Structure 1
Amino acid sequence: MAPKRAASSKKRKASDTDTEEGRTASPPARSTKKAKVTAATRDVEDTGLAPNRQPTNKVLPTRITFPPQGKNTTRIASWNISGLAASQKKGFKYYVEAEDPDVLILTETKEVNDEPVDPSLSDRFPYRYWSISERKTYSGTAVLSKHEPLSVDKTLPGHPDPSYVKGRIITLEFENYYLVATYVVNAGQKLKTMSEKKLWNQHFEVYIRDLDKKKPVIWGGDLNVAPTEKDLKNAKQNWNKTAGYTEEETSSFARILNPPDSAAGANKFVDIWRERHPEDRHYTYFSYRFNCRTKGIGWRLDMFVLSERIAERVKMCEIRSEIYGASDHCPVVLEIEGSL
């Protein structure tokens, strides 16, 4: 179980301001030492850094501050919250207030069985779309937006089991882009659901290419794959044994980035964080077990993948490494030039 913040959620009051220093959201001070978050320095004063140079805090920092959004950009954030209700009790809203993205992708909302009524979200995001699994407390994906899309689709065309797709994908069409949010199928313990993962990959590869032929694609969410050995701590021990790092999964992802010669007319895609951070071994998921956060033992599963022809428009893409404790995942954020 994740460690809880010291203050009761009923007693918290947060401020949300845009200043020259950036966006800030401040829960009340805890009795422990204060930890200041700045995306520019990635310094967490009360915990230090893990061997891979990511922070080791296990609850959200007391003060969350990010640099201001770039002019004429759209900020998109993606976060696996590992259950909306649980995350809300551990400081979820303070990250949202500080980040204040134009679009927020949420994955693994889990306990959401009906579209939630949450003023902190509805006041900030007038356009909200939830894909809810038919299985209660399972999967779940949402896209919350300040901008109205032209259309919304919650299906994966061609997939033979629409009920299995529910809770895993939402596509928003905007004037300039398609935004695809996914909580991709997990291959399961001992790879027991690898057949379901292969079926998903088969249809998703076709789907994203079909979209890309019409207009550029921004694909984000928990993609449930560590693309290379740089994207998880213990690569050799996990290869072809652990969900997310198998030949089947990494090859499927690689085909999307670099289509084979047989895929005539198919365009390339870019894993934009990896392109901007070619050598960093930073992760977005740290198990609550075995002190993985402190040891820097994690996986990079949450990411943004873009049509190659728009990659140069991305002005920033970062893992919000300090935002840990409200979930066992850290958010990922990008800013892209212009409007959606």
Structure 2
Amino acid sequence: MPPRKAPKRARTETDDEESQPSSLKKSKSTIISHQPENPQPTNKVLPVHISFPPRTPDTLRIATWNICGWAASHKKGFKYYVEAEDADILVLTETKVNEQPVDPALDARYPYTYWSISSKKSYSGTAILSKHKPLSVTKTLPNHPNPDLVKGRIITLEFEGYYLIGTYVVNAGVELKTLEDKKEWNQHFENYIRDLDKVKPVIWTGDLNVAPTAIDLANAKRNWNKTPGYTEAETSSFKNILDPPEDVDAGKFVDVWRQLHPKDQHYTYFSYRFNCRLKGLGWRLDMFVLSERIAERVKMCEIRSEIYGASDHCPVVVEVEGLAQS
């Protein structure tokens, strides 16, 4: 979500480009095997022991994680989460790489890897790592007039039974200076996801860079129409994807974590600034949005709340039935 001059991003509680310590510090806490109740955990480094419940049989497990920089996250425990989760497909955002990384262990786990790298050095970046071979791979947003803005922000994999879109959505910027860029992105993306949905179901995930409603961020009233990610333009666009206007020929989509956790105020992002993690000042920016007709196949969708410290974001994971062999 970086504005034009990272890392000096004035996002109050939503600054994604903070500098990070170079060494991995481990706490003595252990990850429990269920989603915690409010409040969320307050650990600031990755736990020593990471374990999750076994996946539901006959499901596809997909995880998404804004890693806030490939190099930095690796120094702080990236691989421990990846090994513990063992997702079928892993969507990474804000990779900040300048070329495709060489990682033999990761390549062995995920033989099909796709990277969208920004033309701007050490900026943005999206990757999808998969155990399953897709039918096709696309790294563009059709009809968007600015390829440089799109590059590094979107990858679409087509599988037999569905499309998977991974995005690191454009940020509205310091003092909303790039909100017009965000509006342009949203306009073309709305058309794109609807067109795909008419062909086969869609799973859209990544850092979507929007807090859809007031319970998806701390201090909602103070941030409304002032802070990138929580403006009328951004929330309305997201709402229009979930529930299109009557005059738009399009199917509906479901924010599946919110559907399963209708009242929880859990967040996926806590700024390194201002002790936000300890104070619970966060935003829910990373999510899974599914075509309505396959949303009922979701057997689990959780924020991995304890997985904080390798990045200022927590991963989100979903299990979907009936797609495992795609």
Tell me how far 1:5 sits from its aligned partner. Answer: 5.3
Tell me how far 1:53 sits from its aligned partner. Answer: 1.2
Match of 1:230 in 2: 215
CA distance in 2, matches of 1:146, 1:108: 21
Tell me how far 1:164 sits from its aligned partner. Answer: 1.3
How big is each residue's C-alpha offset from its partner over 1:110-164, in whole Å with a ceiling of 9 and x where there is no partner? 1x11111101210100000000000011100000000000000000001001121
Q: 1:295 aligns with which of 275, 279, 282?
A: 279
Match of 2:130 in 1: 145
Match of 1:304 in 2: 288
- Write the letter of the residue equivalent to 1:39: S
How big is each residue's C-alpha offset from its partner over 1:182-223, in whole Å with a ceiling of 9 and x where there is no partner? 000000110000010000000000000000000000000000
Task: Indicate yes or no: 2:160 matched with 1:166.
Answer: no
Q: Is the 8 A contact 1:232 1:297 kept in 2?
A: yes
Q: Report which of the two structures shows the higher radius of gyration computed on alpha carbons.
A: 1
Q: 1:67 aligns with which of 53, 57, 82?
A: 53
Q: Is the 8 A contact 2:90 2:128 kept in 1?
A: yes
Match of 1:281 in 2: 265
Q: Is the 8 A contact 2:30 2:50 kept in 1?
A: yes
Q: 2:32 aligns with which of 34, 38, 41?
A: 38
CA distance in 2, matches of 1:83, 1:120: 18
Match of 2:232 in 1: 247
CA distance in 2, matches of 1:189, 1:229: 21
Query: Could you list the runs of 5+ residues in structure 2 that have no partner in the other structure?
Result: 1-18
Structure 2 counterparts to residues 1-340 of structure 1, below 5 A: 1-2=19-20, 34-40=28-34, 42=36, 52-110=38-96, 112-264=97-249, 266-338=250-322, 339=324, 340=326
Count of residues in correspondence between the two structures = 306
Q: Is the 8 A contact 1:3 1:59 kept in 2?
A: no
- Write the letter of the residue equivalent to 1:337: E
Q: Is the 8 A contact 1:320 1:330 kept in 2?
A: yes
Normalised TM-score (structure 1): 0.88
Match of 1:26 in 2: none
- Write the letter of the residue equivalent to 1:71: P
Tell me how far 1:2 sits from its aligned partner. Answer: 3.8
Normalised TM-score (structure 2): 0.92
CA distance in 2, matches of 1:59, 1:119: 25
CA distance in 2, matches of 1:198, 1:163: 16
Q: Is the 8 A contact 2:242 2:252 kept in 1?
A: yes
- Write the letter of the residue equivalent to 1:323: I
CA distance in 1, matches of 2:24, 2:227: 35
- Write the letter of the residue equivalent to 1:336: V
- Write the letter of the residue equivalent to 1:119: P
CA distance in 1, matches of 2:24, 2:81: 17
Match of 1:22 in 2: none
Q: Is the 8 A contact 1:4 1:59 kept in 2?
A: no
Aligned-pair identity in percent equals 72
How big is each residue's C-alpha offset from its partner over 1:261-285, in whole Å with a ceiling of 9 and x where there is no partner? 0103x11000000000000000000
- Write the letter of the residue equivalent to 2:265: R
Tell me how far 1:3 sits from its aligned partner. Answer: 5.0
Tell me how far 1:107 sits from its aligned partner. Answer: 0.1
- Write the letter of the residue equivalent to 2:29: A
Q: Is the 8 A contact 1:5 1:59 kept in 2?
A: no
